Amino acid sequence: MTVTRRTLLLALPALALAAAPALAQSAIPLAELSRYFNSFQTAQGDFTQINPDGTLATGRIFIRRPGRVRFEYDPPEQSLVMAGGGQVAIFDGRSNQGPNQYPLRQTPLNLILEQNVDFENRSMVVGHITDGTTTTIVAQDPENPQYGSIRLVFSANPTELRQWVIRDDTGAETTVILGNMQFGTTLSARLFNITAEMEARRR
């Protein structure tokens, strides 16, 4: 399995706001979900990824807000995905070519990597429901819905992000299920430096 731009960017169809109004009343409030993201600058942990074709990959995720994330995949996967400096880069360990790059702002992940996440005031949330156990929101760039959407699933007490699903501009969906996350850890800027990674691979 090769990680591509379409594999990275995940989310399900937008959930109807009109669905199950009684359940929606007990959903975790958007202000609390925003607070969750704004409460940390760094995080790291394990993840399992379900690709659009049903294959699985595992690895480690590193987040340094704002605007930086790194996905390190376990063997036999040979890809590395990282975001930094406003760009996303996908490195293929089986290729001698440089990484594929594109602007972070054109991916749904940008919505949760912003300096100040505010689900209440940017008209980005197009779905907000609960099944009684978890709260799910669907968010997209209100000015550029063609970039796709991100579906975020949270548990409560305490509020924790459990998984996300990204739907890309072709409709393909990829799920990332998070393991136990550690917050406030020291993460080197080198982890998110695309240029440094390119130079290291040329040596």
Q: Which tens digit of pLDDT belongs to each residue from 28-74?
A: 999 999 999 999 999 999 999 999 999 999 999 999 999 999 999 99
Question: What are the beta bridge partners of residue 62?
Answer: 44, 70
147: helix, coil or strand?
helix
pTM recorded for the entire structure: 0.85
**Selected residue with higher pLDDT from 22 and 65:** 65
The CATH number covering residue 24 comes to 2.50.20.10
Average pLDDT over residues 152-161: 96
How many domains, in total, are found in the chain?
A: 1
190: helix, coil or strand?
helix
Domain that holds residue 18: 5-202
Q: Is the peptide bond before 158 cis (omega within 30 degrees of 0)?
A: yes
The percentage of the chain sitting over the pLDDT mark of 90, rounded to a whole number, equals 76
Listed residue (198, 203, 192) closest to 82, CA to CA = 192
Q: Is the dihedral of CA 56, 171, 37, 43 positive or negative?
A: positive
Q: Would you say 83 and 109 are in contact if contact means Cβ atoms under 8 Å apart?
A: yes
